[in-house]
């Protein structure tokens, strides 16, 4: 727990370092939304290791592909080891984990149990809609979203979004340097035809140099989420569903470019709206990821003695250089072109190449699905694992807050979005609805 | 009572041109606010609620040369001819005192074929003789206009000499008293008048100022003024500027069609809001430059630096919001490309305002005998006029200086400059051109 950076940051405002008072919802000086970095939980050891059912139930074998034009390849973890940035393969499978056990009654894993969050900041949206400026706390907010007293723009809904669905949770934050949030996400859960649970998360990062990047990320994350939610209950193989979802997301972003531009700002450069996408589905013992661009998925086992791994390979200049053997990783990422992306969703993308991969981890853990606003501050899987609280699987929303807090404390130069999806998916009802 | 706010009045719109991006620690927000009024009622409509008083200088100097008085009479007669039926009007004979020429009796006539003919008849009796006390003319015009039950009140003032028979303070008091009660265009005929007096009257009463060096062109000019006056539909419009706490308005000025400083003419209008007068409006478009100093905020922050709306005074003293508004924003970014770029409109009008200032200072220095200073200032003016494409001002400058190289602003003062050219440049130095689209 000592690794959690936000504990050290409080009780100062993470945005302007103004000392805070207990019970503050927003910083009295700058109006920063303090719910973005919640007060630290009581420092008591949390013993939950995973939400896995007892007895080491056999996960069903992945069904063969039933829909979609592509032939999905299902891999065992040993077949396609996820490689981390150092080239270290994802750990090889070990005998079925009989070591998964519960240290306390199952109902104690209920994350909404009040004592789990003794110091959590109350949700500001639960307050009565008193439209008082969050910056000066004196003026009312006018119809344009500015304070009638100090003129400050009020936080918009997208500045900080938190959502939980089933076992998974996600947070998106504007960060500290950008004036709007161009990331978006979808987090959802459903059930397969056999009744087993499935959880999914989609994260998109709008490309700032294009027009309307915020609309692109919203369109893509919604479209991909809708396809997955429709395909998984029909029995579509998760990897095939993932492929379909990315294709649908690309179409949704393409459609934005065709939309009439009449009432919009006439930017001199007319770059079509574009965004990256990364998504993960956890269902029937499989961990499926799919991506285009430089947003990433990481795997962090609950047992921290096992190595974490990065599951995606960036569509970026640096990654291409490394893959082609022209530069080593250090050289490539030091180059100013390192973060130029070579793949994205958008009408001006050269060719859509949805990457998908399927894993069958042999132990419990969590999948982190995030934008570069987070991984810039924890690039290596080991760094990511270090930031992630040990109880991430049981308290995914809390884990996401810790990760976002880490990025903000480190500077928050970009929008920060992360989704936390536990593997395996706990049976429905065990997680918070 | 005539209601100018009737449906069918002009629709106002407000457009803001600015670079809202500020660098870290940036505090100054500049914006060009374009106010456009369009789509008013049919031309015959609004005339019914307008009143015009023509003030004609009849001092002794008007007889030298004798054509001047004759031209003034002819021009006034032509102006009377352009009055639409139903417009209230009167003519004032201005010397060291003001006298009603037509219709008399402390009231105004209503234009129709009969009254127009009577007015022209009365003009023939106009003769020159006496001094010049412009304040008395304006006070009489104010009394006459106040008696008319109309919404648009306008004066047209013609003078050929200096305001010699009252003190500058008296004239200033009169202008302060009349400001906001009626608008007034001022014209100087010949070259014996004082540029600062005529432009001062026009600026205080929110009208135009110009020189008519050749009295023979008076008719043409008066006809044009009258047509513009007949086109006015809404009187007493003000720019209402709201700014948040902690900000300071550095300046507000009209920058098109001419530069006019408005910063000191603010009247408070509720919390953190102030009104800046803009006079009466027909179908037209004007640009304003607003400069606001805001407290520095962190990167990624956004605030509203100013909200600009339009209000019109109602006859009962209340104000009516004209609906349109524009937002001037400030967004702090670490994107250098965004925060360092200059908005084209802001850059253009900053240059135009500097042009007017350079001409004013250059001509003052030239009069004071500082030829080096004058050359530097007017050289800068030539450079600015060239860059911004202000061809009219460039032409006027070329009559005062010999341009050696316009792009570098290298000029030589002309040894001999016609007085009319000098006065024309000074009077028209505030005229601006709009950004080439």
* Helix residue ranges, H only, B275-399: 336-340, 344-368, 371-388, 391-397
Apex B354 CA angle, B353 and B355, nearest 5: 90
Q: What is the mean pLDDT of chain A?
A: 76
Mean pLDDT along residues B353-372 = 93
CA A206, CA A345: separation in Å to the nearest integer? 9
Query: Residue A36 has what pLDDT?
Result: 56
Q: Are A367 and A308 in contact (CB under 8 A)?
A: no
Answer yes or no: do A146 and B304 touch at CB < 8 A.
Answer: yes
Tens of pLDDT, residue by residue over B225-240, are 988 888 888 888 999 9
Query: Residue B230 has what pLDDT?
Result: 87
B305 touches chain A (CB under 8 A): yes
Mean pLDDT along residues B323-337 = 89
CA A79, CA A98: separation in Å to the nearest integer? 22
Cβ-nearest to A147 among B244, B298, B327: B244
Query: Residue A130 has what pLDDT?
Result: 52
Helix (H) or strand (E) holding B146: helix B134-146
CA B91, CA B155: separation in Å to the nearest integer? 10
Query: Residue A88 has what pLDDT?
Result: 52
Q: Are A116 and A397 in contact (CB under 8 A)?
A: no
Query: Residue A157 has what pLDDT?
Result: 85
Range of the domain at A204: 5-122+156-423
Q: Furthest-apart CA pair in chain A: how many Å?
A: 65
Assign A27 a pLDDT band (cuts: 50, 70, 90). low
B281 touches chain A (CB under 8 A): no
Q: Are B96 and B136 in contact (CB under 8 A)?
A: yes
Query: Residue B66 has what pLDDT?
Result: 83
Query: Residue A7 has what pLDDT?
Result: 40
Chain A: give the shortest CA distance to residue B293, in Å.
13
Chain B: give the shortest CA distance to residue A281, in Å.
34
| CA torsion through residues A322, A325, A331, A335, sign | negative
A 67-96 near B (Cβ less than 8 A) = none
Which of A166-175, A315-324, A402-411, B422-431 shows the lowest per-residue confidence on average (mean pLDDT)? A315-324
Tens of pLDDT, residue by residue over A91-130, are 444 443 333 333 444 443 444 444 444 444 545 444 444 5
Chain A hits for B301, CB-CB cut-off 8 Å, are: 30, 152-153, 179
Chain B: give the shortest CA distance to residue A175, in Å.
8
Helix (H, G, I), strand (E, B) or coil at B120: helix
Query: Residue B57 has what pLDDT?
Result: 92
pTM above 0.90? Answer: no
* Sole residue written with tokens 């990897």: A239
One DSSP character per residue, B320-350 reads EEEEEEEEEEEEE-S-HHHHHPPPHHHHHHH
Query: Residue A113 has what pLDDT?
Result: 43
Chain B hits for A16, CB-CB cut-off 8 Å, are: 298
Cβ-nearest to A16 among B298, B331, B332: B298
Q: Are A287 and A359 in contact (CB under 8 A)?
A: yes
Chain A hits for B334, CB-CB cut-off 8 Å, are: 177
Which of A203-207, B125-129, B349-353 shows the lowest per-residue confidence on average (mean pLDDT)? B125-129
E-assigned strand segments in A102-196: 160-165, 168-173, 183-191
CATH value of B11-36+236-306 in 2.60.40.3670, 3.40.50.300, 3.20.20.150, 1.10.4080.10: 2.60.40.3670
Query: Residue A22 has what pLDDT?
Result: 67
CB contacts < 8 A, A to B, total 57
B341 touches chain A (CB under 8 A): no
A150 touches chain B (CB under 8 A): yes
Chain A hits for B243, CB-CB cut-off 8 Å, are: 151
Query: Residue A187 has what pLDDT?
Result: 95
Query: Residue A431 has what pLDDT?
Result: 42
Query: Residue A211 has what pLDDT?
Result: 84
CA A288, CA A238: separation in Å to the nearest integer? 7
Helix (H, G, I), strand (E, B) or coil at B389: coil
Answer yes or no: do B304 and A147 touch at CB < 8 A.
Answer: yes
Question: Testing the interface with B: which of A134, A135, A149, A151 to mutate, by most B Cβ within 10 A?
Answer: A151
Q: Furthest-apart CA pair in chain B: how many Å?
A: 73
Mean pLDDT along residues B404-427 = 91
Mean pLDDT along residues B291-319 = 88
B368 touches chain A (CB under 8 A): no
B270 touches chain A (CB under 8 A): no
- Work out the percent of chain A whose per-residue pLDDT is above 70: 66
Between the alpha carbon of residue A91 and those of residues A83, A95, A287, A300, A362, the distances in Å are 9, 12, 15, 11, 9
Phi and psi at residue B150, to the nearest 5°? -140, 170
Question: Testing the interface with A: which of B301, B309, B330, B341 to mutate, by most A Cβ within 10 A?
Answer: B301
- Work out the percent of chain B whose per-residue pLDDT is above 70: 95
| Residue B168: closest CA among B180, B157, B176, B160 | B176
* Sole residue written with tokens 């962190």: B298
ipTM of the assembly?
Answer: 0.71
Question: Testing the interface with A: which of B297, B327, B332 to mutate, by most A Cβ within 10 A?
Answer: B297
How many folded domains does chain A comprise? 1
Q: What is the mean pLDDT of chain B?
A: 89
Apex A128 CA angle, A124 and A133, nearest 5: 65
Q: Are A85 and A307 in contact (CB under 8 A)?
A: no
Chain A hits for B247, CB-CB cut-off 8 Å, are: 151
Residue A286 lies in a domain: yes
Which of B177-181's residues contact partners 24+ apart within 8 Å by CB, and which partners? B177/B139, B177/B142, B178/B138, B178/B139, B178/B141, B178/B142, B178/B204, B178/B205, B179/B204, B179/B205, B179/B206, B179/B277, B180/B236, B180/B277, B180/B313, B181/B142, B181/B145, B181/B146, B181/B153
- Work out the percent of chain A whose per-residue pLDDT is above 90: 42
E-assigned strand segments in B170-245: 183-189, 209-212, 234-242
CATH of the domain at A299: 3.60.40.10
Residue A212 lies in a domain: yes
Query: Residue B436 has what pLDDT?
Result: 62
Class of domain B48-230: alpha beta
Mean pLDDT along residues A129-137 = 74
Assign B361 a pLDDT band (cuts: 50, 70, 90). very high
Query: Residue A148 has what pLDDT?
Result: 87
Assign B61 a pLDDT band (cuts: 50, 70, 90). confident
Answer yes or no: do B304 and A153 touch at CB < 8 A.
Answer: yes
Tens of pLDDT, residue by residue over A211-243, are 889 999 999 999 999 999 999 999 999 999 999
Mean pLDDT along residues B340-347 = 90
Which of A90-104, A141-155, B137-151 shows the lowest per-residue confidence on average (mean pLDDT)? A90-104
Which of A16-30, B256-270, B286-300 shows the lowest per-residue confidence on average (mean pLDDT)? A16-30
Query: Residue B403 has what pLDDT?
Result: 93
Query: Residue B56 has what pLDDT?
Result: 93
Phi and psi at residue B380, to the nearest 5°? -60, -40
Residue A51 lies in a domain: yes
B302 touches chain A (CB under 8 A): yes
Nearest CA in chain A to B306: A151
Query: Residue B153 has what pLDDT?
Result: 93
E-assigned strand segments in B269-318: 273-281, 284-293, 302-313
Chain B: give the shortest CA distance to residue A11, in Å.
20
Does the pLDDT at position A154 exceed 90? Answer: no
Could you tell me which residues are beta bridge partners of residue A420?
Answer: A169, A368
Nearest CA in chain A to B332: A179
A30 touches chain B (CB under 8 A): yes
Mean pLDDT along residues B172-179 = 93
Assign A65 a pLDDT band (cuts: 50, 70, 90). very low
* Sole residue written with tokens 């040894």: B415
Please state which architecture CATH assigns to domain B344-428. Answer: Up-down Bundle (1.20)
| Residue B284: closest CA among B8, B13, B2, B21 | B13
């Amino acid at each position: 727990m000592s690794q959690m950076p936000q504990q050290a940051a409080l009780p100062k405002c993470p945005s302007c370092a103004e000392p805070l008072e207990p019970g503050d919802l927003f910083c009295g000086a700058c109006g920063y939304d303090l719910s973005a970095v919640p007060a630290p939980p009581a420092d008591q050891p949390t013993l939950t290791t995973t939400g896995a059912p007892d007895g080491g139930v056999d996960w069903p074998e992945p069904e063969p592909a039933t829909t979609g034009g592509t032939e999905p390849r299902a891999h065992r973890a040993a077949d396609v080891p996820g490689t981390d940035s150092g080239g270290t393969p994802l750990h090889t499978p070990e005998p079925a984990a009989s070591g998964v056990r519960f240290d306390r009654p199952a109902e104690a894993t209920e994350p909404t149990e009040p004592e789990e969050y003794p110091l959590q900041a109350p949700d500001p949206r639960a307050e009565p809609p008193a439209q008082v400026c969050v910056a000066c706390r004196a003026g009312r907010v006018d119809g344009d979203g500015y304070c009638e007293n100090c003129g400050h723009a009020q936080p918009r809904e997208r500045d900080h979004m938190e959502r939980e669905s089933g076992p998974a949770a996600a947070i998106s934050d504007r960060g500290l340097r950008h004036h709007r949030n161009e990331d978006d996400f979808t987090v959802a859960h459903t059930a397969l035809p056999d009744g087993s649970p499935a959880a999914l998360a989609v994260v998109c990062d709008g490309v700032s140099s294009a027009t309307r990047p915020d609309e692109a990320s919203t369109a893509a994350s919604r479209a991909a989420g809708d396809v997955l939610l429709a395909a998984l209950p029909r029995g579509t193989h998760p990897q095939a569903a993932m492929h379909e979802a990315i294709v649908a997301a690309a179409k949704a972003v393409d459609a934005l470019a065709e939309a009439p531009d009449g009432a919009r700002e006439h930017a001199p450069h007319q770059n079509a709206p574009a965004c990256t996408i990364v998504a993960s589905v956890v269902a029937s013992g499989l961990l499926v990821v799919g991506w285009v661009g430089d947003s990433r998925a990481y795997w962090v086992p609950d047992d921290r003695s096992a190595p974490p791994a990065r599951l995606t390979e960036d569509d970026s200049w640096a990654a291409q250089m490394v893959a082609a053997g022209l530069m080593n990783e250090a050289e490539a990422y030091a180059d100013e072109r390192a973060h130029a992306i070579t793949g994205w969703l958008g009408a001006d993308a050269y060719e859509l190449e949805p990457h998908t991969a399927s894993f069958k981890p042999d132990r419990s853990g969590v999948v982190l699905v995030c934008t570069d606003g987070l991984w810039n501050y924890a690039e290596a899987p080991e760094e990511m694992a270090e930031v992630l609280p040990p109880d991430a699987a049981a308290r995914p929303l809390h884990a996401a807050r810790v990760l976002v807090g880490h990025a903000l404390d480190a500077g928050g130069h970009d929008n920060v979005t992360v989704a936390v999806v536990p593997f395996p998916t706990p049976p429905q009802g065990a997680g918070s609805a | 009572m005539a209601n100018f706010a009737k449906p069918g009045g002009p629709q106002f719109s407000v457009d803001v041109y600015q670079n809202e991006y500020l660098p870290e620690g940036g505090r100054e927000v500049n914006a060009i606010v374009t106010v456009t009024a369009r789509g008013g009622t049919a031309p015959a409509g609004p005339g019914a609620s307008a009143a015009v008083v023509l003030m004609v200088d009849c001092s002794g100097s008007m007889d030298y040369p004798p054509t001047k008085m004759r031209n003034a009479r002819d021009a006034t007669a032509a102006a009377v001819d352009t009055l639409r039926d139903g417009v209230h009007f009167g003519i004032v004979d201005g010397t060291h005192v003001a006298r009603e020429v037509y219709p008399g009796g402390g009231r105004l006539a209503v234009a129709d074929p009969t009254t127009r003919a009577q007015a022209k008849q009365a003009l023939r009796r106009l003769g020159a003789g006496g001094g010049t006390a412009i304040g008395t003319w304006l006070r009489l015009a104010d009394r006459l206009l106040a008696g008319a039950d109309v919404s648009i009140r306008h004066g047209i003032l013609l003078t050929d000499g200096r305001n010699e028979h009252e003190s500058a303070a008296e004239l200033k008091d009169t202008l302060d008293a009349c400001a906001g009660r009626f608008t007034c265009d001022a014209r100087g005929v010949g070259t014996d008048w004082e540029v600062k007096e005529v432009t001062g009257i026009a600026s205080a009463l929110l009208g135009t100022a110009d020189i008519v060096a050749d009295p023979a062109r008076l008719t043409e000019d008066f006809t044009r003024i009258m047509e513009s006056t007949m086109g006015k539909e809404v009187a007493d419009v003000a720019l209402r500027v709201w700014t948040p706490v902690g900000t300071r308005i550095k300046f507000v000025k009209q920058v098109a069609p001419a530069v006019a400083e408005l910063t000191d003419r603010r009247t408070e209008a509720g919390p953190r809001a102030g009104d800046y007068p803009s006079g009466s409006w027909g179908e037209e478009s004007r640009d304003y430059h607003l400069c606001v100093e805001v407290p520095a905020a962190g990167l990624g922050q956004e605030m509203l630096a100013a909200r600009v709306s339009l209000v019109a005074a109602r006859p009962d003293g209340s104000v009516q919001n004209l609906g349109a508004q524009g937002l001037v924003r400030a967004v702090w970014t670490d994107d250098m490309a965004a925060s360092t770029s200059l908005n084209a409109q802001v850059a253009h009008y900053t240059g135009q305002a500097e042009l007017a200032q350079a001409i004013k200072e250059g001509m003052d220095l030239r009069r004071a005998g500082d030829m080096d200073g004058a050359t530097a200032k007017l050289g800068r003016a030539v450079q600015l006029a060239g860059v911004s494409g202000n061809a009219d001002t460039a032409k006027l400058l070329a009559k005062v200086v010999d341009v050696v190289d316009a792009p570098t602003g290298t000029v030589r003062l002309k040894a001999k400059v016609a007085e009319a050219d000098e006065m024309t440049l000074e009077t028209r130095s505030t005229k601006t051109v709009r950004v080439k689209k």
